[in-house]
Structure 1
Amino acid sequence: MKKTLFLLGLTLSLFADKIVVFHAGSLSVPFSEIEKKFEAKYPQFDVIREAAGSRACARKITDLHKKADVMASADYKVIDNLLIPKYAEFNALFATNEMVIAFTPQSKYAEKINQNNWTDILLKPGVKVGHSNPNLDPCGYRSILVTKLAGIYYKKPDFYNKLLGYGDYYSSGEENTKKVIVRPKETDLLGLLEAGAYDYLFIYKSVAEQHGLKYIELPPEISLKSKKYADYYKQVSFKVTGKKPGSFIVKKGAPMVYGITVIKNAPNKKGAELFVSFVLSPEGQTIMKKNGQGVINPPVINGKWTENAK
């Protein structure tokens, strides 16, 4: 019986219309659940998800010209800056998050670190930290913005330079490998943290909770969580690579907002629209909240959103 059901499922998947979804690594867990619920509701579709840093996802579309139906970003501005208007017509703002400092029981000074002393702990000799590549992943440049905000909040103006010291922008390979580990996206760093390759990770709260990590919850002035502190966040900025080689986009501190869109030349436009509608639906929002993310209810949609997708 089980073999029959397996073969039936395999046969259905072979004939199902594929919906290719490029999405931020931090959306992997909730989107896995959304995929299952969506396919149960619409068995004629087969969702194919591909996780990467949000900017890397956009580059696959703009630079590598890979075919995709949907793009979901951990920073809605990635869609605004890299995809609209040539590759997408709208941007649906649907979820929120916040930055934390994650660690394991094996991390150096794990029993002593707290919200008040984490900047001192991270600067201690022998302590290693990890963050994702800011040119590929919003979590990377948000990690840098957090260190800059921490310097202001804790009145430690040299904290960013002492810990990371990249200057105005990051060039791959320039990190102090004795102190810092960098990988393309934040989820690439989880296994290394759990294996003890380094001690502390700048990561989204939802991801830390999904993977059962200990974490330091940061003050709202630092965590990039609250609209209330939008002006405070604007005090810091960092440059990331732009659309053309040698160009840059300035990323200012801002509350964390996720965005999702349908790609203009989507091979499966109808399926893409249905998938995005499901993500934005009450059922989709419930799944996001269950996995540790805040939601924007109702979602804020900027641009042209087709009638048959509503």
Structure 2
Amino acid sequence: MKQREQYEHWKQVVRGRSRRDVLKGLGAVGMAGLAGCSGGSGGGGGSEATATATATDGSTDTSGGTTDTPTGTSTPDPVSGSMTIFHAGSLAAAFSQAEPQFEEEYGVDVNREPKGSVASTQKITQQGRKASVLGTSDFRLIRNRIVPDFGDWYTIFTTNSMSIQYREDSPGADEISADNWWEILSRDDVTIGHSDPAVDPGGYRAVMTQQLGAKEFEGSALYDQSTYETLRENSTVPTGTETKLKGQLESGALDYAFYYQSISSTADMPFIDLQPQVDLSKATSKYAEHYAKAEVETSSGTFTGAPIAYGMTVPSVAPNPEAGAAWIEYFGSDAGRSILEEQGLVPVDPIVVPKSGQDAVPDRVMNVASAKSSLGPLEL
């Protein structure tokens, strides 16, 4: 149910249409850009700076938005050969499911390398490696670290939310709920796991979720600063990426794990859907302003809270850029969106590209994309 609600929410954000627009018969209107989610340049030490929201009523502003650019209609060139994809661990299930279908349809041999999104980005920016697609769980890594030196454009194609997973025999499992999870997780006998914030957005978002619970939202916080500090004391980083946490949770090495709802909802273990004020799922001005109160410093940069949005790009160093564009096209199609939904992700429909880099977007991607200057409160 929550996934469907998120899907409908993001469809409204992407399409950016108000009831007034429909009644007047105007074309689709994009979301008003808020000066936010802009960040540092380059690799380590850069800042993924805060989202500075101007609206506080919680609604998504559609009245003064940026007009959509119609999708393309040209016939793209055929593709062939092979390609390598660097991608977030949380995309592994969806990309693995899509791989045989894509290979059969397009005749391209796909090689994938899942890893934390920060580390995946650094393969290109710091290690000099080449791939035909880069897929990250935080689109800002592409916007701020790939463009313009290693690429000219990107797309936002899916979203997610944070959750807590546990075993049926985890300490406090028979008591935990959405209304008291922080009380259970702050007990002395509880071990919490999350991925490495320096390597993986799932890691810095786990810390953000804990931070936001202690931040006032609409007049109150879920818990106090002391509880937040206890949550951090109980937290450990046993792995680089969130997908490896599942095995550690199953083995009993961890009692609870903070990671994406897409992973939790497809695993055979109970999980907690978190409050929107902490789960980073809501792309509205009110929530973006609240999420921006969270900030995590790591050895690979400082990251600031924002609604979760995944990005993909074909880097300028891509050995097979046509195949890379075809992969992105696939995830802008009904088949690709269906796979994302099956794997617990919330597809953006249509996928969105920045209007500022539209001229560089391949025709086959523009055929399934909409060009915007902003997506809800997210500046593109």
Structure-to-structure mapping, 1:203-282, within 5 angstroms = 203-228=259-284, 229-242=287-300, 248-249=301-302, 251-282=303-334
Q: How many residues are paired up?
A: 276
Residue 28 in structure 1 maps to residue 86 in structure 2: no
What is the root-mean-square deviation of aligned Cα atoms in Å?
A: 1.5
For 2:269 and 2:307, the matched residues in 1 are separated by 23
C-alpha distance after superposition, 1:15-37 (max 9, x if no partner):
x7221001100011111111111
CA contact (8 A) 2:182 2:223 kept: no
Give the letter for the 1:186 counterpart. Answer: E
2:350 pairs, out of 293, 298, 304, with 298
Structure holding more strand per residue: 1
How far off its partner does 1:92 sit? 0.1
Residue 184 in structure 1 maps to residue 252 in structure 2: no
List gaps (5 residues or longer) in structure 1.
1-15, 166-175, 243-247
List gaps (5 residues or longer) in structure 2.
1-79, 216-220, 367-380
For 2:243 and 2:138, the matched residues in 1 are separated by 16
CA contact (8 A) 1:106 1:196 kept: no
Give the letter for the 1:233 counterpart. Answer: Y
CA contact (8 A) 1:94 1:295 kept: yes
Q: Could you say what secondary structure the match of 2:238 adopts?
A: strand
Q: Find the counterpart in structure 1 of residue 179 from structure 2.
A: 116
Residue 164 in structure 1 maps to residue 232 in structure 2: yes
How far off its partner does 1:308 sit? 4.8
For 1:258 and 1:19, the matched residues in 2 are separated by 20
Q: Find the counterpart in structure 2 of residue 125 from structure 1.
A: 188
CA contact (8 A) 1:102 1:214 kept: yes
C-alpha distance after superposition, 1:92-137 (max 9, x if no partner):
0010100001111121111111112111111111210000011110
CA contact (8 A) 1:88 1:261 kept: yes
Structure 1 length-normalised TM: 0.85
CA contact (8 A) 1:20 1:48 kept: yes
How far off its partner does 1:309 sit? 4.2
For 1:88 and 1:160, the matched residues in 2 are separated by 39
C-alpha distance after superposition, 1:168-204 (max 9, x if no partner):
xxxxxxxx7xx52431110121111110111000010
Runs of 4+ in 1 over 6 A off after TM superposition: none
Q: Find the counterpart in structure 2 of residue 139 from structure 1.
A: 202
Q: Find the counterpart in structure 2 of residue 39 from structure 1.
A: 103
For 2:140 and 2:250, the matched residues in 1 are separated by 31
Q: What percentage of residue pairs aligned between the two structures are identical?
A: 33
Q: Find the counterpart in structure 2 of residue 149 from structure 1.
A: 212
CA contact (8 A) 1:181 1:198 kept: no
Structure 2 length-normalised TM: 0.70
Give the letter for the 2:334 counterpart. Answer: P
For 2:91 and 2:110, the matched residues in 1 are separated by 14
Q: Could you say what secondary structure the match of 2:84 adopts?
A: strand
C-alpha distance after superposition, 1:248-276 (max 9, x if no partner):
33x22111000000010111111111111
